Amino acid sequence: MDEIVRKIQADSAGVSRSFIENNTANIVLAAQKITEAFTDGHRLLICGNGGSAADAQHIAAEFVNRFQLERPPLPAIALTTDTSVITSIGNDYSFEQIFSKQVKANGSKGDVLLAISTSGNSRNIVEAVNTALKRDIYTIGLLGGNGGALKPLVNLALIAADRVTARIQEAHILAAHIICYLTDYILFERRHPGD
């Protein structure tokens, strides 16, 4: 069993390393876009299903509470948390609309939508992105595999090119932590514009 543990760790490290190497510039751009939204008085909306729903909540908490730096709360909302809203939309309309209706209700021009899908094909995430784009909301996709249907839709795609959901999610949360760190750095620590 020790060998299984070591293999999983090695696989995870390999996927994360490749993901960061292939997406460094896009991770920086994602942090810059989120920073611009916060600076201009806008919000970060985040959505995903299953483990990615938990990641959406995790990421929102890092912004609203704090990451590593003591600083004011930043306006991030996980669209995965209100069970009454989610179940009423799912029951009265369809599961595909559970995020898009929330984007319509809570999103506005200048906001950023962080859409998380390990397959890149989640219908409710596709609907949320389409709705966001119609409202001039900048869209960032944390995706897996080949990026799926979301790759050509989002403004910025960060793709963990693997097929194992757990490895993709591990790369996604690493990227999210880096984005949190960079956002804090840009807003509260950077002393020189050229840094």
pLDDT digits (tens, 9 = 90+) for 3-35: 999 999 999 999 999 999 999 999 999 999 999
CATH superfamily, domain 2-189, is Glucose-6-phosphate isomerase like protein; domain 1 (3.40.50.10490)
Domains of the chain, by residue range, sit at 2-189
What does the alpha-carbon distance between residue 46 and residue 110 come to, in Å, rounded to a whole number? 14
Q: Provide the whole-model pTM.
A: 0.95
The tens digit of pLDDT for each residue in 47-105 reads 999 999 999 999 999 999 999 999 999 999 999 999 999 999 999 999 999 999 999 99
